[in-house]
Amino acid sequence: MTDPIPYKPAAASCPDEAGTIPPAPKPAWMQRWDQDEFEINQPGLLRVGGALLKAQGQVARDLLHEKAPARYALGCLIVTLLATLAYGAIIGSAAGPGQSLYAALKLPLVVLGSGAICLPSFYVFQCLLGARPSLAQAALGTLLLCAAAGLIVAACAPVVWFFSISIEAGTAAFLVLLHVGVVVAAIGFGIHLLARMHRYVRLYRPHRRLFHGRVLALWVVMYLLVAAQMASFLGPLMDDGEFFRGERRLFLSAFVRALK
C-alpha cells in the first residue's frame, strides 16, 4: 500500500559519512499503522469499534483529513453507548436487577456527559497551545477516546461480572476499587490512542499539530474528575436504592462512603 500522506520526517538523526541526514527510523507501530486499511463509508457503523483496535492508522489519517466525521462520530457514539450500557448493568448487578437497569442507563450519561462538559476546554486549550484541530476534530477526538475506553470496559465486563456475583457483605470496597481500576485502564487506553495519533500525524505533518501532548495529559485528569463528579451526582450506581438521589456532595465523600 502506498502512503496516503507523503513521508516527511520531523526530526533528523546524526549525519552519515556522506554528510547527509538520513530520516529518523519509524517505530514499528508506525510502520504497522502505515499498512492499516479501513473504509468508513462501507455499511456497519459498529465496524468503527474494530477499526479502533485494528486499523488505528487509517482512523488517524481519516481524522486528519476530516473524512466522514459524521459517520465516525455516530459509530463512536454507538460503540460507547453499547459498551457503557453493558458495563453499567454489571456495576449495578451487585445490588439486584433494578439497580442494574438504573446503572445501565446512567453510565452512558456519565461517560458521554463528561466528554461534552470537557470538550470546550479541550478545544480552547489545544488551540491556545499551538495545536490546530478544528472543532469537529476536537469533538471527534473526544468521542474516539470515549469509544476506545468503552471497548476496554466492555472487554473487562465478563471478569468484573464474575467478581460481582461472588461478592459478600462487607467486601464492596473491593468491587469499588476494581471498577476504578477498570475505568482508569480504559481511559488510559483511550488517551494512549490519541497520543499515538498525535505522534503519527506529527511525523507526516511536522507543522500541523492535531493535538498537544501536555494538554492531553492535563485534560484527561480533568475528564476523570468530572466523570467522578457526574457519577457521584447521578448516583447511586452500586447501592440498592432509588434511581436518582440528587444529593449535593463532592465525589470524594461518596467515594470514601463507598469504600467504607
Q: Check binding of 120 to other proteins (CB under 8 A).
A: yes
Q: Check binding of 118 to other proteins (CB under 8 A).
A: yes
Which one of residues 81, 127, 136, 155 is an interface residue with other proteins (CB under 8 A)? 127
Closer Cβ to other proteins, 73 or 230, answer by number = 230
The minimum distance between CB 114 and other proteins, in angstroms, equals: 9
Q: Which amino acid is at 141?
A: G
Q: How far apart are CA 136 and CA 123, in angstroms?
A: 10
Q: Check binding of 121 to other proteins (CB under 8 A).
A: yes
The grid coordinates listed for 210 are: 492535531
Picking from 170, 191, 204, the residue whose alpha carbon sits closest to that of residue 10 is 204
Burial of 146 (0-12, 13-18, 19+ CB in 10 A): buried
Q: How far apart are CA 128 and CA 193, in angstroms?
A: 22
Q: Check binding of 116 to other proteins (CB under 8 A).
A: yes
Q: How far apart are CA 85 and CA 102, in angstroms?
A: 10
The grid coordinates listed for 105 are: 442507563
Q: Check binding of 237 to other proteins (CB under 8 A).
A: no
- What is the sign of the dihedral through the CA atoms of 223, 229, 234 and 237? positive
Closer Cβ to other proteins, 32 or 249, answer by number = 249
Q: Check binding of 125 to other proteins (CB under 8 A).
A: yes
Q: Which amino acid is at 166?
A: S
Q: Check binding of 128 to other proteins (CB under 8 A).
A: yes
Q: Check binding of 226 to other proteins (CB under 8 A).
A: yes
Number of residues this chain uses to bind other proteins (CB under 8 A)? 22
Closer Cβ to other proteins, 125 or 200, answer by number = 125
Q: Which residues are at the interface with other proteins (CB under 8 A)? A: 116-118, 120-121, 123-125, 127-128, 132, 135, 222, 226, 229-230, 232-233, 248-251
